[in-house]
Amino acid sequence: MSRPTDGAVTADGTAAEARLWLRPASPRHAALLTVDVEDWYHVNYQSWHAPAGSPGPVRVDVNTRRILELCAARGIRGTFFVLGCVARAHPDLIRAIAGAGHEVGCHSLEHDLVYREKSPADFRRRVSEARALLEDAGGQPVLGFRAPSWSITRKSLWALDELLAAGFRYDASLFPFENYMYGLREAPASPGWITTPGGGEIFEVPAPAVRIGPLRIPHGGGFYLRILPYWAERLAIGHHRRRAEPTMLYVHPREVDDLEIPMPLALGERLIQNARVRAGRAKLRKLLAEVTWSPIREVYGAEIGA
Protein backbone atom coordinates (compact mmCIF):
# COMPACT_ATOMS: atom_id res chain seq x y z
CA MET A 1 0.00 0.00 0.00
CA SER A 2 2.96 2.37 0.26
CA ARG A 3 4.32 4.25 -2.70
CA PRO A 4 7.63 5.98 -3.39
CA THR A 5 8.06 9.59 -4.37
CA ASP A 6 11.05 11.66 -5.39
CA GLY A 7 13.34 14.09 -3.77
CA ALA A 8 15.14 14.95 -0.59
CA VAL A 9 18.28 16.59 0.63
CA THR A 10 20.62 16.00 3.49
CA ALA A 11 20.88 18.36 6.45
CA ASP A 12 23.82 20.19 4.92
CA GLY A 13 21.87 20.86 1.71
CA THR A 14 23.58 18.39 -0.63
CA ALA A 15 21.57 16.07 -2.86
CA ALA A 16 20.72 12.71 -1.34
CA GLU A 17 19.30 9.47 -2.65
CA ALA A 18 16.32 9.53 -0.33
CA ARG A 19 12.61 9.15 -0.85
CA LEU A 20 9.38 10.01 0.90
CA TRP A 21 7.31 6.90 1.49
CA LEU A 22 3.64 7.16 2.37
CA ARG A 23 1.73 4.67 4.50
CA PRO A 24 -1.78 6.08 4.21
CA ALA A 25 -4.03 6.61 7.18
CA SER A 26 -7.27 4.64 7.25
CA PRO A 27 -10.04 6.21 5.12
CA ARG A 28 -12.36 8.61 6.88
CA HIS A 29 -14.63 11.52 6.21
CA ALA A 30 -13.61 14.64 8.10
CA ALA A 31 -13.26 18.38 7.76
CA LEU A 32 -10.16 19.79 9.45
CA LEU A 33 -10.15 23.42 10.55
CA THR A 34 -6.68 24.90 11.00
CA VAL A 35 -5.71 28.45 11.94
CA ASP A 36 -2.21 29.89 11.56
CA VAL A 37 -2.05 32.36 14.44
CA GLU A 38 0.19 35.17 13.22
CA ASP A 39 -0.12 38.91 12.65
CA TRP A 40 -0.65 40.75 9.37
CA TYR A 41 3.07 41.47 8.94
CA HIS A 42 4.15 37.85 9.43
CA VAL A 43 4.69 37.20 5.73
CA ASN A 44 7.62 35.95 3.69
CA TYR A 45 7.24 37.77 0.40
CA GLN A 46 10.49 38.48 -1.41
CA SER A 47 9.59 42.16 -1.69
CA TRP A 48 8.54 42.59 1.96
CA HIS A 49 11.02 44.25 4.26
CA ALA A 50 9.65 44.68 7.76
CA PRO A 51 10.44 48.13 9.13
CA ALA A 52 12.73 48.49 12.11
CA GLY A 53 10.84 48.51 15.38
CA SER A 54 7.08 48.08 15.45
CA PRO A 55 5.70 47.49 11.93
CA GLY A 56 2.29 48.93 12.83
CA PRO A 57 -0.83 48.04 14.82
CA VAL A 58 -0.91 44.68 16.57
CA ARG A 59 -3.98 42.83 15.29
CA VAL A 60 -3.36 39.16 16.06
CA ASP A 61 -5.18 39.13 19.42
CA VAL A 62 -8.40 40.82 18.32
CA ASN A 63 -8.62 38.91 15.05
CA THR A 64 -7.92 35.50 16.57
CA ARG A 65 -10.62 36.18 19.13
CA ARG A 66 -13.00 36.94 16.25
CA ILE A 67 -12.28 33.48 14.86
CA LEU A 68 -12.88 32.00 18.31
CA GLU A 69 -16.25 33.78 18.43
CA LEU A 70 -17.20 32.46 14.98
CA CYS A 71 -16.30 28.93 16.08
CA ALA A 72 -18.21 29.24 19.35
CA ALA A 73 -21.32 30.51 17.56
CA ARG A 74 -21.32 27.44 15.32
CA GLY A 75 -20.11 24.87 17.85
CA ILE A 76 -16.99 23.95 15.89
CA ARG A 77 -13.39 23.44 16.95
CA GLY A 78 -10.06 23.39 15.18
CA THR A 79 -6.29 23.30 15.43
CA PHE A 80 -4.60 26.66 16.06
CA PHE A 81 -0.95 26.64 14.96
CA VAL A 82 0.50 29.53 17.00
CA LEU A 83 3.80 31.34 16.65
CA GLY A 84 5.93 31.17 19.79
CA CYS A 85 6.47 34.94 19.67
CA VAL A 86 2.67 35.40 19.76
CA ALA A 87 2.44 33.08 22.77
CA ARG A 88 5.13 35.07 24.53
CA ALA A 89 3.37 38.39 23.91
CA HIS A 90 -0.23 37.17 24.35
CA PRO A 91 -0.34 34.21 26.77
CA ASP A 92 -3.99 34.98 27.60
CA LEU A 93 -4.87 34.38 23.96
CA ILE A 94 -3.35 30.89 24.09
CA ARG A 95 -5.32 30.17 27.25
CA ALA A 96 -8.49 31.33 25.49
CA ILE A 97 -7.82 29.02 22.52
CA ALA A 98 -7.20 26.00 24.73
CA GLY A 99 -10.05 26.91 27.09
CA ALA A 100 -12.52 26.88 24.19
CA GLY A 101 -11.61 23.25 23.41
CA HIS A 102 -9.37 23.87 20.42
CA GLU A 103 -6.06 22.12 19.79
CA VAL A 104 -2.93 24.26 20.16
CA GLY A 105 -0.21 23.48 17.63
CA CYS A 106 3.16 25.08 16.91
CA HIS A 107 3.86 27.47 14.02
CA SER A 108 7.57 27.91 14.92
CA LEU A 109 9.08 30.65 17.09
CA GLU A 110 9.12 33.45 14.51
CA HIS A 111 7.62 33.49 11.03
CA ASP A 112 10.89 32.46 9.35
CA LEU A 113 11.22 30.13 6.38
CA VAL A 114 12.50 26.72 7.46
CA TYR A 115 14.78 26.36 4.44
CA ARG A 116 16.58 29.54 5.52
CA GLU A 117 17.35 28.34 9.05
CA LYS A 118 21.00 28.61 10.10
CA SER A 119 21.25 24.90 10.87
CA PRO A 120 19.08 21.91 11.78
CA ALA A 121 20.20 22.26 15.40
CA ASP A 122 19.14 25.90 15.48
CA PHE A 123 15.76 24.97 13.99
CA ARG A 124 15.25 22.31 16.67
CA ARG A 125 16.17 24.78 19.41
CA ARG A 126 13.70 27.37 18.13
CA VAL A 127 10.76 25.01 17.68
CA SER A 128 11.44 23.48 21.10
CA GLU A 129 11.37 26.96 22.66
CA ALA A 130 8.11 27.75 20.87
CA ARG A 131 6.57 24.45 21.96
CA ALA A 132 7.47 25.10 25.60
CA LEU A 133 5.90 28.60 25.46
CA LEU A 134 2.70 27.15 24.00
CA GLU A 135 2.46 24.30 26.48
CA ASP A 136 3.07 26.64 29.42
CA ALA A 137 0.37 29.05 28.25
CA GLY A 138 -2.19 26.53 26.99
CA GLY A 139 -1.77 23.79 29.56
CA GLN A 140 -2.00 21.00 26.97
CA PRO A 141 0.58 18.93 25.08
CA VAL A 142 1.55 20.41 21.72
CA LEU A 143 1.70 17.52 19.25
CA GLY A 144 1.64 19.16 15.82
CA PHE A 145 3.73 21.59 13.80
CA ARG A 146 3.09 23.70 10.72
CA ALA A 147 5.97 25.56 9.10
CA PRO A 148 5.61 29.26 8.29
CA SER A 149 4.60 29.62 4.62
CA TRP A 150 4.61 25.81 4.15
CA SER A 151 8.41 26.05 4.07
CA ILE A 152 9.37 22.41 4.56
CA THR A 153 10.33 21.81 0.96
CA ARG A 154 12.64 19.47 -0.92
CA LYS A 155 15.71 21.26 0.42
CA SER A 156 14.53 21.24 4.03
CA LEU A 157 13.11 17.75 4.53
CA TRP A 158 15.75 17.36 7.27
CA ALA A 159 13.33 19.40 9.42
CA LEU A 160 11.06 16.34 9.74
CA ASP A 161 13.78 14.52 11.69
CA GLU A 162 14.31 17.57 13.88
CA LEU A 163 10.58 17.70 14.64
CA LEU A 164 10.65 14.07 15.76
CA ALA A 165 13.69 14.80 17.93
CA ALA A 166 11.87 17.78 19.48
CA GLY A 167 8.93 15.57 20.45
CA PHE A 168 6.32 16.41 17.83
CA ARG A 169 3.91 13.64 16.79
CA TYR A 170 2.78 15.06 13.45
CA ASP A 171 3.59 17.64 10.82
CA ALA A 172 1.19 19.73 8.70
CA SER A 173 3.70 21.59 6.52
CA LEU A 174 3.87 19.85 3.16
CA PHE A 175 2.12 21.54 0.24
CA PRO A 176 1.57 19.20 -2.76
CA PHE A 177 1.92 21.96 -5.35
CA GLU A 178 4.99 24.08 -6.08
CA ASN A 179 5.34 27.82 -6.52
CA TYR A 180 8.24 30.24 -6.12
CA MET A 181 8.10 30.21 -2.31
CA TYR A 182 6.95 26.77 -1.18
CA GLY A 183 5.63 23.40 -2.22
CA LEU A 184 6.74 19.85 -2.90
CA ARG A 185 5.10 18.16 -5.87
CA GLU A 186 5.84 14.68 -4.50
CA ALA A 187 4.22 15.43 -1.14
CA PRO A 188 1.34 13.15 -0.18
CA ALA A 189 -2.09 14.49 -1.07
CA SER A 190 -3.80 12.89 1.95
CA PRO A 191 -2.76 12.17 5.54
CA GLY A 192 -0.47 9.28 6.38
CA TRP A 193 2.94 8.29 7.72
CA ILE A 194 5.98 9.38 5.77
CA THR A 195 9.55 8.23 6.18
CA THR A 196 11.96 11.02 7.03
CA PRO A 197 15.43 11.39 5.46
CA GLY A 198 16.88 9.98 8.71
CA GLY A 199 14.71 6.86 8.54
CA GLY A 200 12.11 7.84 11.14
CA GLU A 201 8.36 8.04 10.61
CA ILE A 202 6.16 11.05 11.18
CA PHE A 203 2.45 11.47 10.56
CA GLU A 204 1.84 14.07 7.84
CA VAL A 205 -1.33 16.11 7.31
CA PRO A 206 -0.65 17.94 4.02
CA ALA A 207 -2.25 21.08 2.67
CA PRO A 208 -5.51 20.53 0.75
CA ALA A 209 -5.37 19.90 -2.98
CA VAL A 210 -7.65 18.19 -5.47
CA ARG A 211 -5.99 15.45 -7.53
CA ILE A 212 -6.92 15.22 -11.21
CA GLY A 213 -4.50 12.80 -12.84
CA PRO A 214 -1.02 14.22 -12.32
CA LEU A 215 -2.41 17.67 -11.47
CA ARG A 216 -2.76 19.09 -7.97
CA ILE A 217 -5.17 22.02 -7.58
CA PRO A 218 -4.77 23.79 -4.22
CA HIS A 219 -7.81 25.07 -2.36
CA GLY A 220 -9.06 25.64 1.16
CA GLY A 221 -7.22 28.76 2.25
CA GLY A 222 -5.18 31.85 1.51
CA PHE A 223 -4.94 33.07 -2.08
CA TYR A 224 -6.58 29.89 -3.41
CA LEU A 225 -9.72 30.29 -1.29
CA ARG A 226 -9.98 33.95 -2.27
CA ILE A 227 -9.49 33.45 -5.99
CA LEU A 228 -11.59 30.31 -6.59
CA PRO A 229 -15.40 30.64 -6.75
CA TYR A 230 -17.35 29.29 -3.81
CA TRP A 231 -18.85 26.47 -5.88
CA ALA A 232 -15.33 25.26 -6.69
CA GLU A 233 -14.54 25.01 -2.98
CA ARG A 234 -17.69 23.00 -2.39
CA LEU A 235 -16.79 20.72 -5.32
CA ALA A 236 -13.36 20.20 -3.77
CA ILE A 237 -14.94 19.23 -0.45
CA GLY A 238 -17.14 16.72 -2.30
CA HIS A 239 -14.09 15.37 -4.14
CA HIS A 240 -12.35 14.57 -0.84
CA ARG A 241 -15.51 13.07 0.61
CA ARG A 242 -15.92 10.69 -2.33
CA ARG A 243 -12.34 9.54 -1.77
CA ALA A 244 -13.02 9.03 1.97
CA GLU A 245 -10.27 11.49 2.86
CA PRO A 246 -10.43 14.71 4.87
CA THR A 247 -10.79 18.18 3.52
CA MET A 248 -9.04 21.09 5.20
CA LEU A 249 -9.57 24.80 5.73
CA TYR A 250 -6.60 26.96 6.71
CA VAL A 251 -7.23 30.44 8.04
CA HIS A 252 -5.14 33.44 9.08
CA PRO A 253 -6.40 36.02 11.60
CA ARG A 254 -5.83 38.88 9.12
CA GLU A 255 -8.46 37.31 6.86
CA VAL A 256 -11.27 38.29 9.27
CA ASP A 257 -9.92 41.81 9.83
CA ASP A 258 -11.94 44.75 8.53
CA LEU A 259 -8.89 47.01 8.91
CA GLU A 260 -6.87 46.99 5.69
CA ILE A 261 -3.21 47.81 6.31
CA PRO A 262 -1.25 48.71 3.15
CA MET A 263 2.00 46.83 2.59
CA PRO A 264 4.76 48.03 0.24
CA LEU A 265 5.04 44.98 -2.01
CA ALA A 266 6.03 44.35 -5.60
CA LEU A 267 3.10 44.21 -8.01
CA GLY A 268 2.83 40.42 -8.24
CA GLU A 269 3.07 39.87 -4.50
CA ARG A 270 0.66 42.74 -3.85
CA LEU A 271 -1.85 40.93 -6.06
CA ILE A 272 -1.35 37.70 -4.11
CA GLN A 273 -1.82 39.53 -0.81
CA ASN A 274 -4.79 41.70 -1.74
CA ALA A 275 -6.78 39.89 -4.44
CA ARG A 276 -10.44 39.42 -3.51
CA VAL A 277 -9.95 39.92 0.22
CA ARG A 278 -13.62 40.73 0.89
CA ALA A 279 -14.81 37.81 -1.23
CA GLY A 280 -12.49 35.52 0.69
CA ARG A 281 -13.85 36.79 4.00
CA ALA A 282 -17.40 36.04 2.88
CA LYS A 283 -16.50 32.55 1.65
CA LEU A 284 -14.70 31.81 4.90
CA ARG A 285 -17.74 32.73 6.97
CA LYS A 286 -19.99 30.57 4.77
CA LEU A 287 -17.68 27.58 5.07
CA LEU A 288 -17.50 27.94 8.84
CA ALA A 289 -21.30 28.06 8.95
CA GLU A 290 -22.04 25.21 6.54
CA VAL A 291 -19.43 22.56 7.42
CA THR A 292 -18.79 20.79 10.72
CA TRP A 293 -15.07 21.30 11.32
CA SER A 294 -12.82 19.44 13.75
CA PRO A 295 -9.24 19.64 15.08
CA ILE A 296 -6.52 17.34 13.73
CA ARG A 297 -5.91 15.91 17.20
CA GLU A 298 -9.50 14.69 17.40
CA VAL A 299 -9.72 13.18 13.91
CA TYR A 300 -6.31 11.47 14.00
CA GLY A 301 -5.93 10.90 17.74
CA ALA A 302 -5.30 7.17 17.37
CA GLU A 303 -2.52 7.74 14.84
CA ILE A 304 -0.70 10.46 16.77
CA GLY A 305 -1.28 9.02 20.24
CA ALA A 306 -3.35 11.94 21.50
3-state helix, strand, coil in the chain (%, to 5): 40, 15, 45
| Count of alpha carbons within 13 angstroms of residue 100, beta-carbon side | 26
Buried b (16+ CB within 10 A) or exposed e, 60-70: bbebbbebbeb
pLDDT tens column, 84-96:
999 999 999 999 9
pLDDT digits (tens, 9 = 90+) for 68-126: 999 999 999 999 999 999 999 999 999 999 999 999 999 999 999 999 999 999 999 99
Query: What average pLDDT does the structure give for the chain?
Result: 90
Q: What is the mean pLDDT of residues 33-53?
A: 89
What would the pLDDT profile of 173-186 be if each residue is shown by its tens digit? 999 999 999 999 88
Q: Which residues partner with 218 through β-bridges?
A: 209
Q: Domains in the chain, ordered, with CATH?
A: 3-9+31-42+56-299 (3.20.20.370)
Average of pLDDT values for 142-160? Answer: 97
CB atoms within 10 A of CB 31: 20
DSSP state of 9: B
Distance of CA 162 to CAs 116, 122, 172, 207, 262, Å? Answer: 15, 10, 14, 20, 36
Distance CA 233, CA 160 (A): 30
pLDDT digits (tens, 9 = 90+) for 240-253: 999 999 999 999 99
